[in-house]
A and B are shown apart, each in its own frame.
Chain A
Amino acid sequence: MKYAPSFQRTNGFWPVVIALCIAAALPFFFTETHIRHILILIFVYAILASNWDLSLGYGGIVNFAHIAFFAIGLYTYGIAAKIIGLDPWLALLLAPVLAIAFAALLAIPVLRLEGIYVILVTIAAAQLLFQLVVSQGDFTGGTSGMVLIPRLEIVGYRLSSDGRIGYYYLSLLLVVFSTVFLYKLERSALGRAIKALRDNKYYAISRGVSEGRIRLLTLCASAIFPGLAGAFYGAYLRIASPDVFGLGFLTITLSILLLGGISTIWGPLIAAVVITAFAEILADYGASRSIIIAAMIIAVVVVYPGGLYAAMQEIWGLGTRLRTNVTAAWRRRFQASLRQEAMGVKDHLVETRHGPVSVCDTGNGDQTIIFVHGNSSCKEVFRRQFDEFAGQYRLVTFDLPGHGVSPNGNPDEDYAVEAYAEIIRNLVDSLDLKTPIVFGWSLGGYAALEYAARGTP
């Protein structure tokens, strides 16, 4: 079963390629370490937020211990590389393993709970971990954290040399891997099961989706890249502090996720750029910066809960609608003769409850036949029937909203079989068609049935 087109053929392909090229080229334009540091931060936030979306958006599990995965990665790297003395690269790989193990442990209470209780138990788990970290000062450095954690090197080359360029590309690589991972996962059977559980739990279970297994897998999968990112962060900054458990870090990551838009892969990536850059612009304002950012977050959530990505899609959709509407108007205005040639009669707009539709009305006879066309078609498909029956019947056909030369409808209301049936009824009333025969083809057939089922009042 394959529903989704391959990535090369989606609308998103070129934007992603361009974004990648830009990201790969950026360090050549920005050589100051500070700006590169910001970019690396953006990547870390992007990984955290987009993977959080896996459990929160796609899985419907509101996991407030997500940041703890990051913290575990951070401390695993710190302890393994500094105290145990493991090779830093091995320590980097160990981090996600421990994060997954923690996710599996976390799944035990989460599987048994629902709704707000999941939020509470995950907060408790994160706090438990925080208390453990703080209390084990010998390993973790307690409240002051660990310093001088070993850095990453490739055959003697420090990734931090040349203005952190090595770390920049490593983090970019992590983002790419994480995004590919999420993209593939979302389109896999597992991804569909995850979404099915979120949308209709009992139906999904009755169709053989194992709730426990899928939720466990969701949590574990969402822990991999945050764990890696945590270890990366430790190697990059060379410190590990328990501040990562704080509400501040959580708030920023969660805002990135919610402002980007949940249940999207790209939204959190975009929001990570926007919010981090915005925070950087306001860097000089100290405490007021946090106030401004928080107020902005509230404003966006209150006004437009869908988030940035949804807004971008909606603006894109508006553009498409405008384009198609203009095309339809153009054709109505300047290509009327073409259509008249086909149908033998000029079409005109008739107002209905669902907006104006373009109607052809011809033939003579007491009995009317209404022809309703199918999905993605138009009224001109009936030109042969119009030729054939014009002598015996009055013939009426029309373009459904958004089809042929009818203007676009309102997506919430007008593209539904019920709406089409109502359009037919409106036409019957306004053109005085008495008791017509309704002929429907494909989608038009459903509309005709719906019209028939409603009876004539």
Chain B
Amino acid sequence: MSAPLLELRGLSGGYPPVSVFRGVDMTVGNNEAVGLFGPNGHGKTTLLKTVAGLIDPRDGDIFFAGERLNTEGKMRPRTSRHLNYDLFRRRRISAESVVRQGLIYVMQGNLLFPEMTVEEVLDIAPQAARGRGGAAQMRDLVDAVFPRLRERWHSKIRFLSGGERQMVSIAAGLLALPRLLILDEPTLGLSPKLRIELCEAIAKIRAENVPLIVVDQNVEFLTSLVDRLYLFDHGAITREIDGSAMPSHEEVMTMMFGEAH
């Protein structure tokens, strides 16, 4: 395999002073879809936010397309409780430059911009992709995958349903021309019907060869979509499952919690 698209090496982080995940090693190959599965509240979102540049990593490295996204070295622990460290410390990673590189993170349960219309949101979304080609095709893809959005074109986000909001989020992510798209629980809190609709949409996106990291609580959906699955538990990757041997929901639960889950 050639150099991976995304590589996390011994990545640790959290919300200082709390450490949430530590020593995470993870790779996403070119043109690969990877799943991340784990119990609620164990730090998947925190990990992905770190990768997206919203939170500074404490230790470890993030490589994307061969380039390091974070500054080298590890975060020095704070020794003073009240000193304003934000003033002295440079951020170790910046969301802006991560997004410019084409690593797009679609946040979990994203409210987006409640007072803006769908049209306005999708108008500012390609900001990150300035200077790269392919915007027109992506627009067509978004139209094909989410025909529903055209119907709500001039509605404000706050009047949309949860599923529609999720669609806008993903569409906005796509319009930023992702080289790797991270979807954090895209089907969270949706009705079964909408859920199926959204899963199909994501499968369609995958069919366009967009590399993905998907977090979801539904193992069946994940295994049908991804090439590899990481199991994530207590802030660390506990197992990596290859595409050839995708387990069922029951099997995964047993792997993670033992027989008596």
Contacts and interface: CB of A to CB of B under 8 A. Distances in A.
Nearest first, the 7 A-B pairs at minimum CB distance are A306-B82, A412-B17, A310-B82, A410-B77, A413-B17, A305-B84, A303-B84
Interface of A: 302-307, 310-311, 314, 410-413, 418, 454, 457
A126 B245 CA distance: 72
A412 B16 contact: yes
A314 B84 contact: no
Given A412-B77, A412-B78, A304 B17 contact: no
A303 B238 contact: no
A454 B234 contact: yes
Contacts of B83: 303-304, 306
Nearest to A354: B77
Contacts of B77: 410, 412-413
B84 A302 contact: yes
Contacts of A454: 234
A306 B81 CA distance: 8
B249 to A, nearest CB: 21
A456 B15 CA distance: 25
Contacts of B82: 304-307, 310-311, 314
Nearest to A412: B17
B79 interface: yes
A36 B19 CA distance: 53
B2 interface: no
A457 B23 CA distance: 12
B236 interface: yes
23 contacts: A302-B84, A302-B87, A303-B84, A304-B84, A305-B84, A306-B81, A306-B83, A307-B82, A310-B82, A311-B82, A314-B80, A314-B81, A314-B82, A410-B77, A410-B78, A411-B81, A412-B16, A412-B78, A413-B17, A413-B19, A418-B19, A457-B236, A457-B238
Contacts of B238: 457
A240 B143 CA distance: 71
Nearest to A457: B238
Nearest to B88: A303
Interface in B207-252: 234, 236, 238
A311 B87 CA distance: 17
Nearest to B77: A410
A418 B79 CA distance: 19
A410 B84 contact: no
Contacts of B16: 412
A166 to B, nearest CB: 40
Interface string B72-114: 0000011111111001000000000000000000000000000
B81 A310 contact: yes
Contacts of B234: 454
Contacts of A304: 82-84
Contacts of A411: 81
B8 to A, nearest CB: 17
A404 to B, nearest CB: 22
A310 B82 CA distance: 7
Contacts of B80: 314
Nearest to B76: A410
Given A304-B82, A310-B81, 6 more contacts: A305-B84, A410-B78, A412-B78, A413-B77, A454-B234, A457-B238
A325 to B, nearest CB: 13
Contacts of B17: 412-413
B87 A410 contact: no
B79 A410 contact: yes
Contacts of A413: 17, 19, 77
A314 B80 CA distance: 7
Interface string B2-41: 0000000000000011010000000000000000000000
A411 B236 CA distance: 24
Contacts of A310: 81-82
A413 B16 CA distance: 9
B257 to A, nearest CB: 11
A314 B81 CA distance: 8
A253 to B, nearest CB: 22
B92 to A, nearest CB: 17
B13 to A, nearest CB: 13
A97 B84 CA distance: 41
Contacts of B78: 410, 412
A304 B86 CA distance: 11
A79 B17 CA distance: 55
Contacts of A418: 19
B226 to A, nearest CB: 23
B93 to A, nearest CB: 20
A246 B70 CA distance: 49
Nearest to B59: A353
Contacts of A311: 82
Interface in B142-189: none
Contacts of B19: 413, 418
> Which among A303, A304, A412 has the greatest number of chain B C-beta atoms within 10 A?
A412
A412 B19 CA distance: 10
Contacts of A302: 84, 87
A304 B87 CA distance: 10
A409 to B, nearest CB: 10
Interface string B127-146: 00000000000000000000
Nearest to A418: B19
